Amino acid sequence: MPLLLTMQRIDKRFAGVPALRSASLEVEHGEVHALIGQNGAGKSTMIKILTGYYAKDAGEIVFDGKPVEFSSPQDAQKSGISTIYQEINLVPYRSVTENICLGRERRRFGLLNWPAMHAEAEELLARFNIRIDVRQPLMTYPTAVQQMVAIARAIGFDAKLVIMDEPTSSLDDKEVEVLFGVIRQLKAAGVSIIFVSHKLDELYAVCDRVTIMRDGRTIRVSRMDDISKLDLVTAMLGRELSRVLHEDGDSQRASGPRDPLLTVEHLAVGRKVHDVTFDVREGEIVGLAGLLGSGRTESARVVFGADRPEGGKIQFHNVPKPAAEPAEAILAGMGFLSEDRKLEGIIPDMSVRENLTLAIMPQLAKNGVVDEARSREIVDRFIERLGIRCASPEQRIRELSGGNQQKVLLARWLCMNPRLLILDEPTRGIDVGAKAEILSLVRELAGQGLGVLIISSELEEVVEAASRIFVLRDGNTVAQLSGDAVNEQDVMAAMAHGHNELRETVHD
Amino acid sequence: MTESVTTLPPTRSTSGFDIKSFLTRHGAWVALALLILFNLAFTPNFATWQTLNVNLTQVCAIVIVGVGMTLVIATGGIDLSVGSLMAIAGSLAPLIFLGKLFPLPHPAVGIALAFVVPVLVAGAFGWFNGWLITRLRIQPIIATLVLFIAGRGIAQVMTNGNLQVFKVPEFQYIGLGRLFGIPFQAVLMVVIVVAAGWMLRRTVFGRQILAVGGNERAARLAGIPVVSVKRKVYWISGLLSGIAGLIVIARNSAADANLVGLGMELDAIAAVAVGGTLLTGGRATVVGTLVGALIIQLVRYTLLANGVPDAAALVAKAGIIVLAVWLQRQNQS
Amino acid sequence: MTESVTTLPPTRSTSGFDIKSFLTRHGAWVALALLILFNLAFTPNFATWQTLNVNLTQVCAIVIVGVGMTLVIATGGIDLSVGSLMAIAGSLAPLIFLGKLFPLPHPAVGIALAFVVPVLVAGAFGWFNGWLITRLRIQPIIATLVLFIAGRGIAQVMTNGNLQVFKVPEFQYIGLGRLFGIPFQAVLMVVIVVAAGWMLRRTVFGRQILAVGGNERAARLAGIPVVSVKRKVYWISGLLSGIAGLIVIARNSAADANLVGLGMELDAIAAVAVGGTLLTGGRATVVGTLVGALIIQLVRYTLLANGVPDAAALVAKAGIIVLAVWLQRQNQS
Amino acid sequence: SAQELPKLKQKDKYKVGFAQTESNNPWRIAQTESMKAEAAKLGHQLVYTDAAGSAAKQVADVNSMIAQGVDLIFLAPREEKPLIPAVMAAKKAGIPVVLLDRNVDQSLAKAGKDYVTFIGSDFVDEGRRAAEALDKATNGTAKIIQLEGTTGSSPANDRRKGFEDYIKNKPGMKIIASQSGDFARDKGRQVAETLLQAHPDATAIYAHNDEMAIGAISALEAAGKKPGKDVQIVSIDGTRDALQAIIDGKMLATVECNPKFGPKAFETLARYAKGEQIQPWVVNTDRFFDKSNAAQLISDAY
Ligand SMILES: Nc1ncnc2c1ncn2[C@@H]1O[C@H](COP(=O)(O)OP(=O)(O)OP(=O)(O)O)[C@@H](O)[C@H]1O
Ligand SMILES: Nc1ncnc2c1ncn2[C@@H]1O[C@H](COP(=O)(O)OP(=O)(O)OP(=O)(O)O)[C@@H](O)[C@H]1O
Ligand SMILES: [Mg+2]
Ligand SMILES: [Mg+2]
């Protein structure tokens, strides 16, 4: 079968730092091709070079039989390459329709044909089982929905090749299912897909072949069913995962009840959170599960003082009132890792070091003057500990790969050694190795008395990490699971059919 | 599968009708209405045809420039050079129809050229702004600051600092003429507002402007020709400034390179902001700008007509601007 | 583990030295150097102590205001009201030391108060700007436009439009005095620049300013008191404007509510931009602003001294600004 | 529009408009005060507006006066031309206009036809007298720095003309540098500082108004020169500061530009109401101040 795309001996340096070292990638007609690698391996860069977002330093690209050198993404788009970038790139103020039709507006007599465009938007979203008012500004919808819009937009162009750079990082399992359905349709229609993801199960679910990258090189290409998960991970990390995982997994699950740290009762926020109740004890990892829009993030934001509660009771460490501002919460010993890295996480123009120490600056300061030496020493420690890939601590964080940015943000909270750490989608866009490291790190810290509230769209992750799980549904806590009830089936069941009065489920 | 159908209400959709949300959504209109009522009540012979004309003719220039400013701001930019471009166009026109630039075969030719050339020249300078911004990647506020400073210099060089006087009814029709008893400039203003508003809402170009202002990177990735969109927008702003310049000199039967369009940039920006356009780009309303300009004009007139001392007038004007803008901001947070 | 901790050489150093990257990184300095060389070559007796003094005294106000403007812009804002605040402080001081406001127990008291009170008042107005921006969430350009307009009105009301003339050496020391032969105002300027530069680079507050300008929502979630940071910054800008106002009136032994600080906002913004501060916030250099102001001042001096007519001077000035800014932009794209 | 000049019927109390152009210098303030004082003395009602230096605003001011239906408008036009429409509007509305201190362009509007008359000084003559004074003091040899008024304004144009015409046939008197100081003290000072640096050989400064002259004096002192000795200064206006400077020997002379329009203005109003024929230019007489008379006249200077 002739190849749709071949990229060969691609080199790319950023200000002298190599990001790609003679990397290669081959995609067949009508296949779903997985592109995987550690954070910073060069996946996104590879894609951006293909679509003409960056210019390559060396190497050649052949697409659809012709050697190509795209000057810009729209150039690539014209030739039939449609891309979903890792960072959602849409226009928040404009309506969903406009975002979907951006760049290929429907016209009648040279004028915009709104009815047709709305219809198209609704029809495209329908393929993802999403029914929303497409006339509303995009920013009024959750990250997850925005991600779906981005995907709908990309497949809206009838392309020969659709590139998805970590499309599922902000989707929950249900939506991932839907997405796979669409991917299979596309494949059946002869469209090829490049699929970047750090979730291995997904790869096995939809991908035909896989290209594995490490440190800017292409390490291995294989058919999906010829390679075991273990080999995959080993090739990707260049070492065995098991050596990364400390076997302290259940240490804290065993141990008995501790003093309450955070208790949230009958919380109500806006129109999305009606009656949410949960609590976290010292040294305990508690999970918040729920479908997207179930109110997890907004509940968390209120606990952290980022939003105002409208009802209910929040008690953190014997302080019976909620924090008024994040600053207050931080002083009280809370950390909050936002789910939206770009919008609420990084400060792009600041260095890795400044970003990492942002939350502890006051502590780092002697009467208002930052103690650079100490900050350097701390930063070096965390770069080492989390294996953050950066040219130097002084490199601008915007130049880091998505996953490495996420690690820096996590470090921002770990370095203040908090009492309670709220993690909203903590492993979003992080490779399996790092994910395992981070989760075990969290467990380790919990072992030392840190309370953790973890929100994740990956059930498996919550279940693995948490000793208790609260299930949210339409802004209500519908179930609390603990003990052996902490397993994917029960959580799924609760998420789907959970009744609206709080139900304790404990098997023993 | 059906159970996983996502039917979210938008997080920040409008929650039913209440007086506050109404106020905030139509803040500008409300403010305007209040002003008119106030005047009807207190300002001597306000409800006269003459008053209407005075206000219309005085607001025209601001509105016409404001429309261009609205488009520029919609792309996330700003144009400080409008006043200077008015001066350039205003100084050039008389040079042409007075035949100081080149001999005229027939006066009519001069008049015709005096309408066309200055506007095109202003447009060219506007395009130059766009070029500085897109090609040299200079931030709009600085790029246009350049012509804000240099523009007057250029105008003065052209006229070597002299005032130009004239009495050319055919040309001055643009500033003094009437159509069905309505000042021609007012008619022109309305036409421009309607056209621009329609363009912004109905045409692809309009959408592109808003997309660029909403998220430039996304727009570029979506294949929108960001560069040309920006250049066009500054070009339009230039053209409209040129027209405004002609109106002003026609009204005064004199062109003064030092004074034509002085301080216009801030009046225009204020009008845009009061009208409810987001100064960070991505959202714009041309009609709003018209309303905003009317508010500012009416405030000025009210204070003048009621003999409020200047100093106090300035303070009041500022107060009203902040009020109107604040009303707007309520539902944008 | 160590294997995934890459120890690549720092990003910037590797690009090696070439003339272009040097130019772009130090664009402002190069421009300044060229200007000085030009003057040494062509301007009659340029290399004199007195010339230095003239330029230092003439640039002081712009630099001092520019420092405040730099901080404001670093948070992603802008302050159009600086000129008006200068006028307010400048009009208030004479009222105090001339005892028109309240009887003075002893002239010395008047002098002392005349230094303190006007600056504090200007600071208060600056804080008001910050309040409009943080509390009412009005965009900085509009919020400060309010005092830009109203400020002069207020100053005129205070003095009911009268020009105040005086001869009070003790007070005028701030504008005319000398320290070791160097104009006191120049010393003051340097002190302010150094202090602000150090603050921005070394202190927590400096970091917070840049963080807010870099990504406001992220800064808030990282526990940075965004609101108070912003208010402080506008407050500082107000204080510095006040000081500049005092210097200007002291220099002229006269205070004129209509003229003090006229057009200062744009000079300051230009200085900041030429100095290489990013007008979108998040990155700032106070020393750069000093250099930028010196460039603008020196351009003005050069053109005047060489008898270039005003008009042409404007154009040249604009040209130099665009050149300097363009050099800056090269390595920011 | 060739219709007649609007008449003014005789009353003992009038509602009179005074459209001032700006009030940012002592001269304007003195003019305003003289007008207000005279109106108060005669018991007329005075509607006062200040255009704050903007021709456009002044046009609006006049329009609002028309709207308020005043009997007569005293207008101090900001510029020679842009105020014509205001004059015409008043005429159309049947309100006579008297121009103060600056005339409008004669090719567009005529005294006695479009407006009653122009009351004001002779700027050209002021410039000439300044030159004359300098000539006498330096017996015909001077390297002169000229500080011009606002570019394009009629006082600036005329005062330059008067001065330059006089020194044309004085080979010893040369203008070595000439830049605009916008009639303002600060700008005047900065320009003077710079020009003095570039032209240390200057022996005289001619400023188009006293404010700039005062600025020049502080510039000289900053440069360590003795104003009045190393460099002679002549100027126009006759402000209190200027007279004081003359008394202190820092300034040679200043030609008055008389701001006290009140008496002449209302006298003209009365005559016009009586139906007398008013000459197109009522000249406001200007005095001349130097060390001979400055001391005794400073008391009533403004
Ligand atoms: N604009 C840039 N400037 C400098 N370095 C960059 C830039 N973009 C990427 N890099 C570097 O190139 C390397 C590869 O980045 P890339 O984004 O391709 O990684 P990735 O495989 O997509 O990782 P992730 O899975 O976290 O998205 C990283 O080390 C990153 O620091
Ligand atoms: N105050 C806020 N400001 C900005 N964005 C917000 C705010 N509150 C919530 N969001 C965004 O709205 C989206 C929905 O949040 P919500 O908590 O309702 O859903 P969720 O349960 O967190 O589900 P998911 O996290 O999968 O979207 C989130 O992506 C969050 O980023
Ligand atoms: Mg990536
Ligand atoms: Mg969430």
Average of pLDDT values for A34-45? Answer: 89
| Dist CA D32 CA D191 (whole Å) | 29
Lowest mean pLDDT among A249-253, A442-446, C267-271, D257-261: A249-253
pLDDT in tens, B68-84: 999 999 999 999 999 99
Ligand 2, pocket residues at CB < 6 Å = A 142-144, 172, 272, 290, 292-298, 301, 307, 339-340, 457; B 11
pLDDT in tens, A290-315: 877 788 888 999 999 988 888 888 88
As annotated, the residues of chain A forming the CATH 3.40.50.300 domain(s) are 5-240, 249-333+418-507
Mean pLDDT, rounded, of chain C: 85
| Dist CA B62 CA B317 (whole Å) | 15
Name residues 44-103 of chain B within 8 A of A (Cβ). none
The predicted model scores a pTM of: 0.82
Percent of chain A at pLDDT > 90 equals 22
pLDDT > 70? residue A128: yes
Neighbouring subunits of A (3+ Cβ pairs under 8 A): B, C
ipTM for the assembly: 0.79
| Dist CA A419 CA A407 (whole Å) | 19
CA quadruple A211, A213, A216, A217: dihedral sign:
negative
What pLDDT is attached to residue C241?
97
CB contact under 8 Å between B315 and C266, yes or no, is: no
Number of cross-chain residue pairs from C and D with Cβ atoms under 8 Å apart? 81
Query: Hey, what are B60's tokens?
Result: 């025209």
pLDDT in tens, C148-169: 888 888 888 888 777 788 888 8
Query: Hey, what are C135's tokens?
Result: 């509390």
Determine the residue type at D32.
Answer: T
| Dist CA D9 CA A392 (whole Å) | 89
pLDDT > 80? residue D106: no
Cα(A126) to centroid(ligand 2), Å = 22
Q: Are C45 and C51 in contact (CB under 8 A)?
A: yes
pLDDT-derived band at B228, boundaries 50, 70, 90: very high
Cα(A25) to centroid(ligand 3), Å = 16
Return the residue in B322, B328, B329, B332 with the most chain C beta carbons within 10 A, the one to mutate for interface testing: B322
Cα(A478) to centroid(ligand 2), Å = 19
pLDDT > 80? residue A501: no
Q: Of ligand 1's atoms, which has the minimum distance to the CA of residue A216?
A: 14
pLDDT in tens, C100-119: 888 888 888 888 999 999 99
pLDDT > 60? residue A266: yes
Mutate to test the pocket of ligand 2, among A139, A143, A424 (most ligand atoms within 8 A of CB): A143
CA quadruple C104, C106, C108, C112: dihedral sign:
negative
| Dist CA B45 CA A88 (whole Å) | 59
| Dist CA C297 CA C300 (whole Å) | 5
Percent of chain D at pLDDT > 90 equals 16
Name residues 283-302 of chain C within 8 A of A (Cβ). 283
| Residues of chain C contacting residue B332, judged by C-beta atoms under 8 Å apart | 137
Chain position carrying tokens 């492993």: A427
pLDDT-derived band at A10, boundaries 50, 70, 90: very high
| Dist CA C267 CA B148 (whole Å) | 12
CA nearest to A77 within chain B: B223
Return the residue in C134, C142, C220, C308 with the most chain B beta carbons within 10 A, the one to mutate for interface testing: C142
* Rounded (5°) CA angle D267-D270-D271: 85
Domains of chain B, each with CATH number or no CATH: 48-328 (1.10.3470)
Whether the CB of C106 is below 8 Å from some CB of chain B: the reply is no
pLDDT-derived band at A339, boundaries 50, 70, 90: confident
Average of pLDDT values for C308-332? Answer: 72
Whether the CB of B262 is below 8 Å from some CB of chain C: the reply is no
CA nearest to B309 within chain D: D49
Whether the CB of B218 is below 8 Å from some CB of chain C: the reply is no
Q: Minimal CA–CA distance to C114: which of C100, C94, C84?
A: C94
What CATH class does A5-240 carry? Answer: alpha beta
Average of pLDDT values for B174-181? Answer: 83
| Residues of chain D contacting residue B251, judged by C-beta atoms under 8 Å apart | 85
Distance of CA D69 to the CA centre of its chain: 28
| Dist CA A200 CA A210 (whole Å) | 11
The fold of A249-333+418-507 is Rossmann fold (3.40.50)
What pLDDT is attached to residue A341?
84
What pLDDT is attached to residue C6?
38
pLDDT > 80? residue B154: yes
Catalogue the E-assigned strands of chain D. Answer: 15-20, 45-50, 72-75, 97-100, 117-120, 142-148, 173-180, 204-207, 232-237, 253-256, 281-283, 288-290
What pLDDT is attached to residue B308?
67
Number of cross-chain residue pairs from B and D with Cβ atoms under 8 Å apart? 75
What pLDDT is attached to residue B22?
65
- Ligand 3 ion local residues (Cβ < 5 A): A 44, 86, 402
Average of pLDDT values for A108-130? Answer: 84
What pLDDT is attached to residue B47?
77
Query: Hey, what are B269's tokens?
Result: 């920006």
Cβ of C20: how many Cβ atoms within 10 Å?
10
Helix (H) or strand (E) holding A101: helix A96-101
pLDDT in tens, C189-203: 999 999 999 999 889
Q: Which residue from D52, D177, D180 is facing C307, i.e. has the nearest CB?
A: D177
pLDDT > 60? residue A500: no
pLDDT in tens, B20-63: 666 666 777 888 888 888 888 887 777 777 778 778 877 899 99
What pLDDT is attached to residue D24?
65
- DSSP one-letter code for A399: G
Mutate to test the pocket of ligand 1, among A7, A11, A12, A14 (most ligand atoms within 8 A of CB): A14
What pLDDT is attached to residue B75?
94
Q: Which residue from D184, D193, D198 is facing C259, i.e. has the nearest CB?
A: D184
Characterize B291-324 residue by residue with b for buried, 16 or more Cβ atoms within 10 angstroms of its Cβ, and e for exposed. Answer: bbbbbbbbbbbbbbbeeebbbebbbbbbebbbbb
User: Strand D253-256 relative to strand D288-290: parallel, antiparallel, unpaired?
Assistant: antiparallel
Q: Are C85 and C268 in contact (CB under 8 A)?
A: no
Whether the CB of D59 is below 8 Å from some CB of chain B: the reply is yes
What pLDDT is attached to residue A255?
53
Q: How far apart are the first and last CA of chain A?
A: 56
Whether the CB of B138 is below 8 Å from some CB of chain C: the reply is yes
Q: 3-state DSSP call for residue D146? A: strand
What pLDDT is attached to residue C22?
66
pLDDT > 50? residue C13: no
What pLDDT is attached to residue C1?
36
Mean pLDDT, rounded, of chain B: 83
Average of pLDDT values for A475-486? Answer: 82
Q: Are B262 and B157 in contact (CB under 8 A)?
A: no
Average of pLDDT values for C269-276? Answer: 86
Mean pLDDT, rounded, of chain D: 86
More confident of the two residues A367 and C221? C221
CB contact under 8 Å between C321 and B149, yes or no, is: yes
- Report which protein residue has its CA nearest ligand 1's atom 19: A40
More confident of the two residues D53 and D206? D206
Percent of chain A at pLDDT > 70 equals 94
pLDDT in tens, D148-198: 887 777 788 889 999 999 988 888 889 988 888 888 888 888 889 888 888
Q: Is the CB of A197 under 6 A from ligand 1?
A: no
pLDDT > 90? residue B310: no
What pLDDT is attached to residue A502?
53
The whole-angstrom distance between C10's CA and the closest CA on chain D is 47
pLDDT > 90? residue B193: yes
Mean pLDDT, rounded, of chain A: 85
CA nearest to D219 within chain C: C54
Query: Hey, what are A311's tokens?
Result: 């009802």
Q: Of ligand 2's atoms, which has the minimum distance to the CA of residue A296?
A: 21
